[in-house]
């Protein structure tokens, strides 16, 4: 039995969806002021 492979279009759509979700969660975190990617560098 042949395994069903997703088509290129389906793969690209899934990538876009995951990227959009990621960007949306980052954007909402920014709006909420909860995003802390890295501690701010202290001035030397």
pLDDT along the chain (44 residues), means of 10: 83 94 82 61 64
Element (H, E) at 22: helix 8-32
Q: Retrieve residue 29's tokens.
A: 């975190």
pLDDT (tens digit per residue) in 26-37: 887 767 666 555
How far separated are the first and last CA of the chain, in Å rounded?
Answer: 64
CA distance 35 to 29: 5
pTM for the predicted model, two decimal places: 0.49
């Amino acid at each position: 039995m042949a395994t069903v492979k997703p088509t290129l279009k389906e793969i690209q759509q899934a990538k876009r969806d995951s990227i959009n979700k990621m960007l949306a969660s980052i954007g909402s975190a920014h709006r909420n002021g909860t995003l802390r990617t890295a501690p701010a560098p202290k001035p030397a």
